[in-house]
Amino acid sequence: MLKRKPHLEFTKISSNENWHTPQGYPTGIKQHILASDIDEVNKTGSRSRLLKFEPGVFTTEKFIHDHWEEVYLVSGDLIVGNDEDGNGGEQFEGSTYACRPPGVYHGPFKSDKGCVLFELHYYKNETEF
């Protein structure tokens, strides 16, 4: 049976409930899955989520994945390309956007003041668009 993202009308998003640290991420980075039918094994579907960094939190390694990723920095600051100690990198402020095709290395990431990101992850089947 094919899993599909649910039909959702405007839904209040809690700042405390349904947030959890994604596997492999440091404590202080939390996600809230808004809707998802992504299947990373069969390389189908999509996911929309909010990702929140607490102030001072950072990752130490670059990321790579086999799906498309679009990221909108809603609020706060995000530093891209810091080192393993959280130093350096290029800082971006709210209302900035990134689009990454599959196979692109990106990160590590840090936020000095904390931030909220809206992300779309999806497998693109050339016959779907």
Q: How far apart are CA 90 and CA 81, in angstroms?
A: 6
Q: Which domain holds residue 42?
A: 29-122
53 belongs to a structural domain: yes
104 belongs to a structural domain: yes
77 belongs to a structural domain: yes
Domains held by the chain: number = 1
Give the torsion sign (CA, 126, 73, 50, 106): positive
pTM, 2 dp: 0.91
Q: For each of the chain's 129 residues, which pLDDT tens digit applies?
A: 567 888 999 999 998 899 999 999 999 999 999 999 999 999 999 999 999 999 999 999 999 999 999 999 999 999 999 999 999 999 999 899 999 999 999 999 999 999 999 999 999 865 544
CATH of the domain at 87: 2.60.120.10
129 belongs to a structural domain: no
